[in-house]
Structure 1
């Protein structure tokens, strides 16, 4: 997805939630860490399909940035 307008708001929300949890003073946050945390969030979302879907989409978008 090259057009940011096509990315659902829920994807931005799960990325923001993960980044906030991972931020620590004197620590560089890597894209790999964010992707791992999003994957874990999606796996532990239980029956919340919308969160699992948003996390999966966020992982896909961020992983594409690695290549």
Structure 2
């Protein structure tokens, strides 16, 4: 797994903490900040990528 270190503004970090607390209250399970951020990224960006997009990316890599 690749590691990415990011700096968050204080307000964003506080919102992330509130979201983490809400998740844990709703599900009764704990979640790490890392997992929470991965989930948010996946929902926001990765699910929006279609198979066509992936094929275009693969074709572009093969041409280089």
TM range (shorter): 0.3 to 0.5
The normalised TM-score by structure 1 is 0.32
The normalised TM-score by structure 2 is 0.33
Larger radius of gyration: 2
